[in-house]
Chain A
Amino acid sequence: MAMSFQKPWFLARARRRFAMTRECALLLPRVCAALADPRQPGSDDTCLEKLLDWFQELTLFDSTVQLVQDNPCLTEFITSVLALPEPSPSILSFTLRLAGILAASENRFQHLQQEKLLARLFGRDGPPNSAVWEDASVRSGWVQGVHNMMHHQPALHLLCSGGGIDVIFTLQGDPSLFVASAASQLLVHMLTLSVESETTKPLSTKDCDWPACAQMIIKRIEDSLQSSSASHIEQSLKLLTSLFGSCRATWTEVLWLGVAKQIESFLTEETVQVQHMLANLLLNMAWSPVFRDTEGSFWALVTSALEHLTPVQAGPLAVGILRLYKCPQDVRIQALTVLLQPMDCILRAASQPLEYAGLLDESVSDPVTVESLLSSRSSCANLLCQTLAHLEQLLSLSRLPVDLPYTSLLRSLMTILQFCNGFLSPASPLGSTISRILINCFRVQRSALDVLAALSERKGSDTLIGSLFDLLLAYLESPNTSPTVLKKTFQATSKWLVRLQELSCSNSQGQQTEKILEDVFLVLQKRLCSPCWEVRDSSLEFLTVLIKCLRDQDEFRQSLLSSEVPRLTENLLEDPESYVRASAVTAVGHLAFITYFAPESPVVGNQYNKENTVAKLQEILSTDPEGFPRRAVISIFIKWLRQGCTGQLEDTEQFVSRVIQTVEHDLDWEVRLGGLELIEVFCSQTICQLGLPQCPYAPVSSAVTSSIHWNESLQVFCRAKLFSFLFRSLCDCDKPVGQRACDVLLGLKSNFYPVSTLEGSQGTGDSAVGHGIAWLQRTLRQGSLAQNFPTDGSNGVDFQDPENMMLALGAVELEELHDELNRSSDHVEKSPQSLLQDILATVGTIEENEADCY
């Protein structure tokens, strides 16, 4: 009831919003005439696309004929393009799509059909029969036009009776992939439309009472599935795949039952190689409740597919099935088996028979297939990378519908990584072959390390943690580890260190943890001195991550502080590479939480103390020639302020003030934006501290106390010189800065001017202050065009005077400014009127030239 009540109102508003303005209606005939003029050079494609977008909007909420009736130029345009002996492909394509958009409503369809325009455009004797059909843009325009139009039965009948279906089926095999895919989508759409708009009673397998159009399509699908042409079969499988992916109606099952046998035969068919298409089809079906919830043959087919498809083809199907929550348990186990088979094979190849239990009790398909894929140089890395990517996908799910054998999986991953760095002497011939292929294979290393990282969050793989760290440390230490692999190793190591800490808290593995941490910091120390900047950078990132996750752990803090790492990190603040300096800033900033800001951790004796570090960071903020390090500094300062660390450091007010004065002239807008964020945090903390009521509706118990409070915080803000930066930022040439400044000022305004008091305080009088405020308002109206924004008080506004600022906050139309800033900068250029003028402008120059000629 509520919806039907709201609908007319909503539609009316939408129609109003998207209706054609008078100005546009006046321009349109000239535009149409210009576009249909073959003498004109081809119009800019983007203009035509925008024009179509506009028509799409115009017709979206209006199904009446008004648009075409009021603008006869549209029909004339189509007629004149059709009359052209050799229309340009782009104009013809545009015309087809435009006609489709207009004919999307039945009323306008009938209107256009009065002159048989649509039959001429989309019928068999239209463009498909002409020379321009060679051009892919025309074919694409035709398919899109039909798709645009295809919303009602008359359109369906036009196509079906005019031979259009044949054209679309042919286009499925079009050399242009865009056209082929659009044709396939169109068929799906037509089939769905036909069945859903023309059927009155539910369909069943027994009566094949499909509507005429649907029947034609289904017949074609069935025929091509039975043909011996692989490309025809592929097209039909693609069509069914997208049909089952988009349509979840019960009739799809009826359709399926007609083709199921044939499709099932493809699994074992040797002559037609279409198996690779089946995984996607079955997956889409598995997501559809129509098939998923049946007890019947569907799951048997999936089982058979898992058995018959090659491991590479079956992988995506298996992982898709494992992501389903509704799936028979035996199918799930089988999918898991398919997925784990390569990992199992690796484990068996590396170990003596019966040494480990392996991953699987039995395999679904012949293990020989997997073994042969793994022992071939061309397929080994591909199969492993695919399997590992699937495993990572699975592990990233928060709720896994199936239990993975984590310990064996971890062992298998470790085996792969050992193969890759040549540490493992395999016990079997297969192992030697795999080892030969995998040595120094970075792709596999990266994928395996990703899975390893993901596995750290799963319980049950802790028994191997000692040997796992041996392996990770070997990777971290080896000079042969490539920088990208090293980065992944760092990621995996940090995750497992967190896990290790959790374990060490719960049992007595303290000593092991201590030793591992010591080794990690030793190797980190070396990596921080690497000549390769990527390595130094990822080492610093690793350190930051470690501190973030583990800074509360005593063992971690002690190991870190007793190593050389803090000193080397501070050295890197002067690295020649700006990314490294930025990462060093972030690391030093986090390190400070342990060294300087944590009350229980006295500073370890080295030449750096907190004053030096802060001074160093401020120096970077004011002098570093690159943006990244400066951005990093301001982010760290924000972090410190948020965590209340600056209070122990010095008077926060002075700190903020100094930082703001450094960043307000920074050339990098992100640094200035950071400065505003710092102000925002500072303001809210100050207001909280001084106890100003946050809620404007809260009863003000005593106007006097309240005013004292705001007075005090306002004074703090003025002293810290925040306002000059805030107001200047409103005119910043980089929009995000202006928006942020406006948000901050609005926040302050709402604090200092509760709604009830707003009106009364806006009077500024005629005083000098009043003139100043008026100047400010004028200047702010110019926005980013405002030149010179003096904040020294020379214009009558003293940005450090609380009274002045109070008045300014009240007087400046911040809300209006907010809307202005949030409007996109091309809102004028984007209007349809401007678009039409643009098109005419290009035409205009030609007309002028013509005039010159005469």
Chain B
Amino acid sequence: FFQYCLSGHPTLPCNVLKFKSTTIMLDCGLDMTSTLNFLPLPLVQSPRLSKLPGWVLKDGSTFLDKELKECSGHVFVDSVPEFCLPETELLDLSTVDVILISNYHCMMALPYITEYTGFTGTVYATEPTVQIGRLLMEELVNSIERVPKAQSASMWKNKEVQRLLPAPLKDAVEVSMWRKCYTMPEVNAALSKIQLVGYSQKIELFGAVQVTPLSSGYALGSSNWIIQSHYEKVSYVSGSSLLTTHPQPMDQASLKNSDVLILTGLTQIPTANPDGMVGEFCSNLAMTVRNGGNVLVPCYPSGVIYDLLECLYQYIDSAGLSNVPFYFISPVANSSLEFSQIFAEWLCHNKQTKVYLPEPPFPHAELIQTNKLKHYPSIHGDFSNDFKQPCVVFTGHPSLRFGDVVHFMELWGKSSLNTVIFTEPDFSYLDALAPYQPLAMKCVYCPIDTRLNFIQVSKLLKEVQPLHVVCPEQYTQPPPTQSHRTDLMIDCQPPPMSYRRAEVLTLPYKRRYEKIEIMPELADSLVPLEIKPGISLATVSAMLHTKDNKHVLQLPPKPPQPPASKKRKRVSDDVPECKPLKPLLSGSIPVDQFVQTLEKHGFSDVKVEDTAKGHIVLLQEAETLIQIEEDSTHIICDNDEPLRVKLRDLVLKFLQKF
């Protein structure tokens, strides 16, 4: 078993597993942190951004001043944002048979894989994953395409040039691999390759492997995967949650008895408890609004926003915020809010029961009905007419590099009354804010990450007891900023095997068995012989037939009839020749009795020597030596065939034949 690790980001994984004869890609996450090196894409002309000075090298050279701009001591690429793709050089991605997707955040690189690598296989994912994944991709494409950028910077990527740049550009990895965003046709083509699956559905891959998605409790339709053959079981745990939020709870029981458990997608903020963060979010929101300020929440259009809206639904009346408008701005806002209400079977039990009342499972329906929450595809159009302050705006993208959020950052950044509250954990908020400096608006960091933390992982591993754990290297040491927190790493026995980007891992497991079927006719012909109480043996002579990774023992072909005519000999008759079978021997030779028997048969000078593996019986007069070991017996005598046969027969008396 091999695992090819194509992504270095532990929560946006992309691994390829060679399991038996199949090649399975596990997730294809897109690392978008690369966009933080780019200037934001403003929706309306921003005088501030357009006036930023070009960057000049220490020696005064200005050849990069069109590509790189300087803002408050940081250097940004003035170009369309680009993304860091999974490794494509490590193995030929056209050989990938299937791609398994665990949740909608982990499929954002899918078009790059399916449309650029010659991929011809199938992608498996649940329905909500596909639908919401499509929304995320649509929003991404839309946000970038609506602000066309004339220029595209590439000079800075030159290795010689990059070395001269300041950090973090200098240290950016694989910049040559960075790609611009895909297009909607590519998204559609990629999504058309997906086959929908349901939880616990068993999918056969080429007869060799069975894959099954299990609920992972993290997001609508999010799954962990079981990849198993008859004798091997690999569990792929990616982005799971044990908290009670909106999705169906995590299925832990089915992960038991795994030989290997690949563990990715743990919480990115292990020190922040999500409940505390939600409290923090609400408190800061209320404080800002009460002081007459606006609140900006950069977020994805699906996921935690549902939980936040639910908390706010309960909170706004108590906090006296009933009159404050909440705006949700995204090209897919409407679809996201509506989709969430129709995926009842993928929701937690409480929400499912609501559907039968019938009531909408999420309370944001009521917020919309009472006009407390309004949603718009963009800041243009209706929104500009309805817009009232102070207000709370939920909009993307959390990187603050594109989407409507850029506009609000420019609009509200100058007043200290306003607050931007970061709830998505994917981007460092300080890096996200860098091109907006100097900033007067308050910034609050309340990352809400409901994925497993290390305490939960340790309980999970105790519960499911896999033989081996494989995880990204980041999980095997404390976070770099908190090196004393040894509690913030995976602690299990045996210690986990770790991987990093562009590494090939031999999974610590060897195949020992393969299942083979016996045809009924063949089984009928067997004559078992009981050699020990409860153990019967039979010799089988058969032909092994292998097709579609299934092995069947069939009756051996009949001995070839003498050909009726030499000329009519066909290729199909050319079957392997069957030799008559020799009986098999079993049992052990009791040396004392053997010696007595020899003496009875006239060998008077028998001498026994013990060896490491058994005994040597010496017949000195006959100059003959009988070597008796556990699994072999040798008679060594010089050219005296009758003697050898005689001795052989004496030996055979002590053994069973079948």
Tell me the A residues contacting B by CB distance below 8 Å: 422, 424-426, 432, 435-436, 439, 478-481, 525-527, 529-533, 535, 564, 567-568, 571, 574-577
B19 within 8 Å of A (CB atoms): no
Q: Residues of B contacting A480 with CB < 8 Å?
A: 271-273, 276
CA gap between A531 and B446 in the complex, in Å: 14
Assess whether A526 is in contact with B284, with CB atoms less than 8 Å apart: yes
Assess whether B484 is in contact with A432, with CB atoms less than 8 Å apart: yes
CA gap between A624 and B311 in the complex, in Å: 26
- Known: A526-B284, A530-B282. Contact between A571 and B318, CB under 8 A? no
10 nearest A-B pairs in the assembled complex, by CB-CB distance: A425-B484, A479-B276, A529-B286, A531-B282, A479-B280, A529-B283, A576-B318, A531-B315, A436-B487, A526-B283
Assess whether A422 is in contact with B271, with CB atoms less than 8 Å apart: yes
Known: A529-B290, A530-B279, A531-B279; 18 extra A-B contacts, CB below 8 A, are A422-B271, A425-B484, A432-B486, A436-B486, A439-B487, A478-B276, A480-B271, A526-B280, A526-B287, A527-B283, A529-B283, A529-B287, A529-B319, A530-B282, A531-B311, A531-B318, A564-B290, A571-B290
B320 within 8 Å of A (CB atoms): yes
B536 within 8 Å of A (CB atoms): no
Q: Residues of B contacting A574 with CB < 8 Å?
A: 320
Assess whether B314 is in contact with A531, with CB atoms less than 8 Å apart: yes
Assess whether B318 is in contact with A577, with CB atoms less than 8 Å apart: yes
**For chain B residues 313-331, which have a beta carbon within 8 Å of chain A?**
314-315, 317-320
Assess whether A479 is in contact with B272, with CB atoms less than 8 Å apart: yes
Assess whether B485 is in contact with A422, with CB atoms less than 8 Å apart: yes
Assess whether B446 is in contact with A479, with CB atoms less than 8 Å apart: yes
- Chain A residue at minimal CB-CB distance from B285: A529
**For chain B residues 216-258, which have a beta carbon within 8 Å of chain A?**
none
B483 within 8 Å of A (CB atoms): yes
- Could you give 7 example pairs across A and B, Cβ below 8 Å? A479-B277, A479-B279, A479-B446, A527-B283, A530-B279, A533-B318, A571-B290
- Known: A480-B272, A571-B320, A574-B320. Contact between A535 and B279, CB under 8 A? yes
CA gap between A510 and B272 in the complex, in Å: 35
With both chains docked as a complex, state the minimum distance between the C-beta of A583 and any C-beta of chain B, in angstroms: 14
CA gap between A576 and B271 in the complex, in Å: 32
CA gap between A46 and B271 in the complex, in Å: 56
- Chain A residue at minimal CB-CB distance from B319: A529
Assess whether A525 is in contact with B287, with CB atoms less than 8 Å apart: yes
CA gap between A481 and B272 in the complex, in Å: 10
With both chains docked as a complex, state the minimum distance between the C-beta of A434 and any C-beta of chain B, in angstroms: 11
Q: Residues of A contacting B277 with CB < 8 Å?
A: 479
Q: Residues of B contacting A425 with CB < 8 Å?
A: 483-484
CA gap between A426 and B478 in the complex, in Å: 14
Assess whether A422 is in contact with B273, with CB atoms less than 8 Å apart: no
Q: Residues of A contacting B320 with CB < 8 Å?
A: 571, 574
B151 within 8 Å of A (CB atoms): no
Q: Per-position contact with A for B466-504: 1 when CB-CB < 8 Å, else 0?
A: 000000000000000011111100000000000000000
CA gap between A526 and B311 in the complex, in Å: 17
Contact of A531 among B283, B290, B487 (CB under 8 A): B283
B278 within 8 Å of A (CB atoms): yes
- Chain A residue at minimal CB-CB distance from B491: A436
B291 within 8 Å of A (CB atoms): yes
Q: Residues of A contacting B484 with CB < 8 Å?
A: 424-426, 432, 435
With both chains docked as a complex, state the minimum distance between the C-beta of B401 and any C-beta of chain A, in angstroms: 27
Q: Residues of B contacting A478 with CB < 8 Å?
A: 276
With both chains docked as a complex, state the minimum distance between the C-beta of A543 and any C-beta of chain B, in angstroms: 16
With both chains docked as a complex, state the minimum distance between the C-beta of B445 and any C-beta of chain A, in angstroms: 10
CA gap between A574 and B291 in the complex, in Å: 17
Q: Residues of A contacting B278 with CB < 8 Å?
A: 531
Q: Residues of A contacting B279 with CB < 8 Å?
A: 479, 530-532, 535
Q: Per-position contact with A for B267-302: 1 when CB-CB < 8 Å, else 0?
A: 000011100111110111011001100000000000
Assess whether A568 is in contact with B290, with CB atoms less than 8 Å apart: yes
- Chain B residue at minimal CB-CB distance from A526: B283
- Chain B residue at minimal CB-CB distance from A481: B276
Max chain A Cβ within 10 angstroms of own Cβ: one of B272, B277, B283: B283
With both chains docked as a complex, state the minimum distance between the C-beta of A400 and any C-beta of chain B, in angstroms: 36
CA gap between A790 and B52 in the complex, in Å: 84
With both chains docked as a complex, state the minimum distance between the C-beta of B272 and any C-beta of chain A, in angstroms: 7
Max chain B Cβ within 10 angstroms of own Cβ: one of A432, A479, A527: A479
Q: Residues of A contacting B283 with CB < 8 Å?
A: 526-527, 529-531
Assess whether A529 is in contact with B282, with CB atoms less than 8 Å apart: yes
Q: Residues of A contacting B485 with CB < 8 Å?
A: 422, 435, 439
CA gap between A426 and B486 in the complex, in Å: 11
Assess whether A575 is in contact with B273, with CB atoms less than 8 Å apart: no
CA gap between A535 and B357 in the complex, in Å: 34
CA gap between A533 and B283 in the complex, in Å: 12
Q: Per-position contact with A for B86-102: 1 when CB-CB < 8 Å, else 0?
A: 00000000000000000
Assess whether A422 is in contact with B482, with CB atoms less than 8 Å apart: yes
CA gap between A576 and B316 in the complex, in Å: 11
CA gap between A37 and B276 in the complex, in Å: 67
With both chains docked as a complex, state the minimum distance between the C-beta of B51 and any C-beta of chain A, in angstroms: 36
CA gap between A432 and B488 in the complex, in Å: 12
Q: Residues of A contacting B286 with CB < 8 Å?
A: 529
CA gap between A532 and B317 in the complex, in Å: 13
With both chains docked as a complex, state the minimum distance between the C-beta of A683 and any C-beta of chain B, in angstroms: 40
With both chains docked as a complex, state the minimum distance between the C-beta of B260 and any C-beta of chain A, in angstroms: 27
- Chain B residue at minimal CB-CB distance from A421: B271
With both chains docked as a complex, state the minimum distance between the C-beta of A542 and any C-beta of chain B, in angstroms: 15
Assess whether A479 is in contact with B273, with CB atoms less than 8 Å apart: yes
Q: Residues of A contacting B319 with CB < 8 Å?
A: 529, 531
Q: Residues of A contacting B290 with CB < 8 Å?
A: 529, 564, 567-568, 571
Q: Residues of B contacting A435 with CB < 8 Å?
A: 484-487
CA gap between A564 and B280 in the complex, in Å: 17
Assess whether A576 is in contact with B311, with CB atoms less than 8 Å apart: no
- Known: A424-B484, A530-B283. Contact between A575 and B276, CB under 8 A? no
Q: Residues of A contacting B284 with CB < 8 Å?
A: 526, 529
Assess whether B318 is in contact with A575, with CB atoms less than 8 Å apart: yes
CA gap between A529 and B487 in the complex, in Å: 32
With both chains docked as a complex, state the minimum distance between the C-beta of B618 and any C-beta of chain A, in angstroms: 61
With both chains docked as a complex, state the minimum distance between the C-beta of A711 and any C-beta of chain B, in angstroms: 51
- Chain B residue at minimal CB-CB distance from A568: B290
Q: Residues of B contacting A424 with CB < 8 Å?
A: 484
Q: Residues of B contacting A532 with CB < 8 Å?
A: 279
**For chain B residues 494-517, which have a beta carbon within 8 Å of chain A?**
none
- Chain B residue at minimal CB-CB distance from A478: B276
**For chain B residues 385-424, which have a beta carbon within 8 Å of chain A?**
none
Q: Residues of B contacting A422 with CB < 8 Å?
A: 271, 482, 485, 487
CA gap between A525 and B286 in the complex, in Å: 10
With both chains docked as a complex, state the minimum distance between the C-beta of B297 and any C-beta of chain A, in angstroms: 15
Q: Residues of A contacting B311 with CB < 8 Å?
A: 531
With both chains docked as a complex, state the minimum distance between the C-beta of B491 and any C-beta of chain A, in angstroms: 9
With both chains docked as a complex, state the minimum distance between the C-beta of B310 and any C-beta of chain A, in angstroms: 12
- Chain A residue at minimal CB-CB distance from B287: A529
With both chains docked as a complex, state the minimum distance between the C-beta of B283 and any C-beta of chain A, in angstroms: 4
With both chains docked as a complex, state the minimum distance between the C-beta of B284 and any C-beta of chain A, in angstroms: 7
Assess whether A564 is in contact with B291, with CB atoms less than 8 Å apart: yes
- Chain A residue at minimal CB-CB distance from B455: A440
Max chain B Cβ within 10 angstroms of own Cβ: one of A439, A527, A533: A439
Max chain A Cβ within 10 angstroms of own Cβ: one of B277, B314, B482, B486: B486
CA gap between A680 and B418 in the complex, in Å: 52
With both chains docked as a complex, state the minimum distance between the C-beta of B43 and any C-beta of chain A, in angstroms: 32
CA gap between A535 and B275 in the complex, in Å: 13
Q: Residues of A contacting B273 with CB < 8 Å?
A: 479-480
Q: Residues of A contacting B318 with CB < 8 Å?
A: 531, 533, 575-577
Q: Residues of B contacting A564 with CB < 8 Å?
A: 287, 290-291
With both chains docked as a complex, state the minimum distance between the C-beta of A481 and any C-beta of chain B, in angstroms: 7
CA gap between A527 and B286 in the complex, in Å: 11
With both chains docked as a complex, state the minimum distance between the C-beta of B48 and any C-beta of chain A, in angstroms: 30
Q: Residues of A contacting B271 with CB < 8 Å?
A: 422, 480
With both chains docked as a complex, state the minimum distance between the C-beta of A243 and any C-beta of chain B, in angstroms: 49
CA gap between A478 and B275 in the complex, in Å: 12
Q: Residues of B contacting A527 with CB < 8 Å?
A: 283
